[in-house]
Structure 1
Amino acid sequence: MSRTPARPAPRPAGAARRRSTRRLAAIGAVLALVVAIVAASVAIGESAGGSGKGSDETNTRGSTASGPAADPQQKVFDQLAQATSRRADGDPLAVGRVDAPVVLVEYADYQCSFCGKFTRDSQPELIKKYVDEGVLRIEFRNFPIFGKDSERAARASWAAGQQGRFWQFHDEVYAKTRKGDALAEDKLVDMARSSGVTDLAKFRADLNGSASAAGVKKDQEEGYSIGVQSTPSFLVGGRPIAGAQPMKAFEEAIAQARAAKQSTK
């Protein structure tokens, strides 16, 4: 099986990059190891159902960094989970109980076909099996790496969230692979309408406003600060998973994160 290496996603320039560096330093030296773990996981994901800039169609087989060998790094996973799991009450880009024992953080791009695959194939099962049972919380992070069309779609998802329709809009965009002109502003407005967004004038204003740009930038900087390079990338209780992995990979990571959480009680 051939593997196509992906070029790294462009990093924020200037002040944004400096803020990203300071944030990583603030998390602590322990996360330097996590960056290496994530990088290894991402490298696997490039040939296992992940998308990096310039590499969007790859095989969907792969593995996770969560397994028996990863257990000695539990402290690292806990640090990373604490640094990235916001657990904000009323967060429109999250679903599940604020106090759920496990948080899954997803970094994704709306032009990423494997992000769509996760949304269509795995997300509904995760919600039914874990979120509805109070075990899992899913927090979405906009991580656009494919240019202006991706950034526009990311801002649009944020705008839909301001009217309580983030997840409906999110699922509508990912209902099929959409790229380029399919994510033009008018098309995004049409999808917002289909998703139940009622105030379309506000939606347009929010999409093009500074608050949506800041929200997307915050998510991007968080991803860059922990070494995310491709989409989709996940943290499950701090454990990195790269690519649209089979449901079993998420089940194993959730079980490990849940067991680790219970062991600290």
Structure 2
Amino acid sequence: MTMSKKKQKLSVTLLIAALVGVLVLTSVSAFGWIGNSGNSGSGGASDPAASADEPSKAQKNALLALARRDAKDPYAMGKTDAPVVMIEYADFQCSFCGKFARDTKPELVKKYVDEGVLRIEWRQFPIFGKESETAALAGYAAGQQGKFWDFHDVAYGEERRKNSGAFAQDKVEAMAREAGVPDLDRFVKDMKSEDARTAVNKDTGEGYNLGVSSTPAFLVNGQPVLGAQPAEVFTSAIEQARKAAAE
């Protein structure tokens, strides 16, 4: 077993153990959920180690409760009553998040979201510095005009070097224009609003309470999947969750 896999196994074990606390406390204390990100350098799509050990029923129920299932949520796609909800914690500067967005998400949308099986809920988790925060606020602002996923696709349309100016204010405004955000003045105003900061902090706090420390990180009906894994890993997790939901 490689050191990366050992670390993932350890972190997954810690995740399962620590989540017991959510049944007693209001949140899970941070304990270091090691995923696959450009920051950690531990894996990514080339590393087959992906899904966690199966949580207990009580632990999974605690994680299932994180799904918002809000019909008005502009940062989610898919039916609110879909049997499977996948929560994604991601950073717009994360290269592995971009790989997932370009290579895997479209396949999952076509196969599961469009068929009413899967709902994807996005959580802003900016961890790579100021430009990540700017991009997260821009994503929020685009969503206020119903254009979050269009902005998402533009932002991840190509790999961009971290903190190189690719997500500076003028660049995210250009992305919003390309994404078809209709009112750019409102977009900038929404980016700078207290509501935007509060929403991003809420998502980030949720992730940190779970112990998320790298991106992308996913919960598929309470089952952790770590990193931009191959499509078959997500397909397997979704099928298992779909089957369990039907029981």
Query: What TM-score comes out, normalization by structure 1 length?
Result: 0.80
What amino acid does structure 1 have at the position aligned with 2:154? E
Alpha-carbon RMSD across the aligned residues, in angstroms, is 2.9
How far the C-alpha of 1:176 sits from its partner, in A, is 1.1
| Residue pair 1:108, 1:144 contacting (<8 A) in 2 also | yes
Which ranges of structure 2 fall in alignment gaps of 5 or more residues? Answer: 8-18
Which ranges of structure 1 fall in alignment gaps of 5 or more residues? Answer: 7-23
Of the three residues 149, 153, 157, the one matched with 1:167 is 149
Residue in structure 1 matched with residue 116 of structure 2 by the alignment? 134
Instruction: Find out whether 1:74 has 2:57 as its counterpart.
Output: yes
- % identity of equivalent residues: 47
| Residue pair 1:160, 1:166 contacting (<8 A) in 2 also | yes
Residue in structure 1 matched with residue 126 of structure 2 by the alignment? 144
What amino acid does structure 2 have at the position aligned with 1:63? A
How far the C-alpha of 1:60 sits from its partner, in A, is 2.3
Residue in structure 2 matched with residue 231 of structure 1 by the alignment? 215
Instruction: Find out whether 1:28 has 2:19 as its counterpart.
Output: no
- Relative to structure 2, which stretch is displaced further, 130-139 or 56-65? 56-65
Distance in 2, Cα, partners of 1:98 & 1:29: 28
| Residue pair 1:108, 1:233 contacting (<8 A) in 2 also | yes
| Residue pair 1:51, 1:243 contacting (<8 A) in 2 also | no
| Residue pair 1:61, 1:245 contacting (<8 A) in 2 also | yes
Q: Deviations over 1:40-68 (max 9, x none)?
A: xx3xx43xxx333x6488562132335xx
Residue in structure 1 matched with residue 11 of structure 2 by the alignment? none
Residue in structure 2 matched with residue 109 of structure 1 by the alignment? 91
| Residue pair 1:56, 1:112 contacting (<8 A) in 2 also | no
How far the C-alpha of 1:258 sits from its partner, in A, is 1.2
SS at match of 1:182: coil
Mapping 1:58-73, distance limit 5 Å: 60-66=46-52, 70=54, 73=56
CA distance 1:243–1:174, change in 2 (3 Å): same
SS at match of 2:246: helix
How many aligned residue pairs are there? 233
How far the C-alpha of 1:123 sits from its partner, in A, is 0.4
How far the C-alpha of 1:33 sits from its partner, in A, is 9.3
Q: Deviations over 1:149-206 (max 9, x none)?
A: 1001000000000000000001100011223201010110011000000100000111
Write 1 or 2 for the structure with the bigger share of helix. Answer: 1
What amino acid does structure 2 have at the position aligned with 1:163? Q
Runs of 4+ in 1 over 3 A off after TM superposition: 24-27, 29-36, 54-59
CA distance 1:76–1:35, change in 2 (3 Å): farther
Residue in structure 2 matched with residue 89 of structure 1 by the alignment? 71
Distance in 2, Cα, partners of 1:34 & 1:133: 36
Residue in structure 2 matched with residue 189 of structure 1 by the alignment? 173
Distance in 2, Cα, partners of 1:158 & 1:133: 27
Q: Deviations over 1:122-157 (max 9, x none)?
A: 100010000000000000000000111100100000
How far the C-alpha of 1:75 sits from its partner, in A, is 3.1
SS at match of 1:87: coil
Residue in structure 1 matched with residue 16 of structure 2 by the alignment? none
What amino acid does structure 1 have at the position aligned with 2:183? D
Query: What TM-score comes out, normalization by structure 2 length?
Result: 0.85
CA distance 1:77–1:30, change in 2 (3 Å): farther
